[in-house]
Structure 1
Amino acid sequence: MQKSLSLLVVAALTLSACNSWRDSRANPSNWFGSSQPAPVETAPVDEAYALVPKQREGIGLFDRPEEEDTSVPIAKIDELRIDATPTGAIVYASGTAQRQGAFNARLVPVESEENQKNGVMEFTFRVNYPKAQTAQGTERSRMVSDAINVSRQELEGIRLVRVVGQQNALESRRR
C-alpha cells in the first residue's frame, strides 16, 4: 500500500511539473478553442412559425377532406350562467332544440370589431341534427347544454356576455 501511494504521489508531481501538458493535444481542455462572436442569421418576419411543419393537403394515406359545417343555431336559449373560476370563468348555456336527436352542441365565439369595441363577448349556440327525420318530442327530451372555459386574459375589458340562438338571445352583464 505504501509503495502504490508513494508511486501515485511521484507520478502526480512529475505530471504537474510537466509544463507541456497544458498545450498538448492530449489535454481535453484544448480540444475546442475559446468562444468568439459569430454573425447571426435573421429569419424573415413572415416566417414566424418556421419550426411548425407546413400542412400538406391530401398527401397522407389516411388524410380526409375537411367536413363542411352543417351545424345550425339552436332553436331557443333557456339558460345562461357564468361561474367564476380561479383561472377565469365558465360560460354555461342550455337550450331547447327544434327536434330530438340534436348532437355536437357547442358555443362558437363570434368575433367582430363592434363587439370588441363595446366589451361584448358573443357566442352562437350551435347544434347538429341527424340526417334522418326525428320526432319533435317533449321539451325536456330536446334539452341540450354546453359550456366553455374562458381565461382571465380573454375576460379583460369584457362587460357583457351574450349567447345567441335561432329565436332568442340571453345576456349577462358584469357587476
Structure 2
Amino acid sequence: MRKPLSLLLAGAILLAGCGGWRDSRINPSNWFGSSKVSEAPVSGDVNPLIPEKTGSGIFDKPEPVDRSVLIAEVSELRIERTSVGAIIYATGIASRQGAFNVALTPTDNEDPSVLEYDFRVVYPEFATPTGSAFSRTIHEAVSLTNEDLKGIRLIRVNGANNARESRRR
C-alpha cells in the first residue's frame, strides 16, 4: 500500500512542478506571439485571389475548347420544391450513344422573370451507334435557392429540336 501511495504522491509533485512549462520558451506554442490585425498590401485594382497571367510559355496549357452541343430533344422537365428552394430535373434524349459531361447551363435573356437553361452534352470524337431511345436517355438536375427563384415565373430548358418550360402557379 505504501508503494502505490508514494508513487502517486511523487507523480503529483512532479506534475505540479511542470506548471511553468506553459510560459517557458521551450514550449512550441509560445514561439510566436498572438495575432494582430494589419492592412493587407494591395497595389492598385488587383484581386489577390486571382493569379495574374504571366504570358504564354512553352508549358502553358491552351484554353480549353467548349465542345458541348445542345441535346437533341428535351423529353421531360420536372421541378420539385425543397425547404430551401427547388430542384430542376431535366431528361433528354441524345442523338447518339456515348454523350457525357452533361450540364444545364444558364443562358442570358431579356426577361428577368424567365430562368432559361441550355441542356448541353459532349459527344465522343469517334463514331458511336445510335441505339435505342432508352440507351440515349440522359438525366441532369440543378439546385436553386429561394433567392434564385425570387421573381421567376417561368423556367425553360432548351434542346436542339425543342424546349420544355414550366410556369409557376
TM-score under structure 2 length normalisation: 0.68
Q: 1:58 to 1:98 in 2, by over 3 A?
A: farther
Q: Which residue does 1:171 correspond to in 2?
A: 165
Letter in 2 for 1:146: E
Quote the residue 1:139 is aligned against.
133
Q: Deviations over 1:110-131 (max 9, x none)?
A: 012x132xx0000000000000
Structure 2: how far apart are the matches of 1:105 and 1:161?
Answer: 19
- Matched residue, 1:94: 91
Give the partner amino acid of 1:168: N
Give the equivalent residue in structure 2 for 1:13. none
2:161 is aligned with 1:160: no
Secondary structure in 1 matching 2:135: helix
Cα distance in structure 2, aligned partners of 1:124 and 1:83: 19
Q: What is residue 120 of structure 1 aligned with on the other side?
A: 114
Residues 63 and 170 (structure 1), Cα distance of their counterparts in 2 relative to 1, 3 Å cut? same
Contact 1:115 1:122 in 2 (8 A): no
* Counterparts of 1:87 and 1:123, CA distance in 2: 20
Determine which structure has more spread, i.e. the larger CA radius of gyration: 1
Unaligned 5+ runs, structure 1: 1-39
RMSD of equivalent CA atoms: 2.4
Match of 1:136, SS state, is coil
The aligned counterpart of 1:52 is 49
3-state SS of 1:154 partner: helix
- Structure 1 counterpart of 2:114, which letter? V
Please state whether the residue corresponding to 1:130 is helix, strand or coil. Answer: coil
Superposed CA deviations along residues 117-156 of structure 1, whole A, max 9, x for unmatched, are xx00000000000000011000000001111111211111
Identical positions, percent: 46
CA distance in 1, matches of 2:139, 2:59: 33
Amino acid at match of 2:67: T
Count, aligned residues:
129
Query: What are the ranges of 5 or more consecutive residues in structure 2 without an aligned counterpart?
Result: 1-38
* Paired letter, 1:134: T
SS in 1 for 2:67: coil
Aligned twin of 1:64: 61
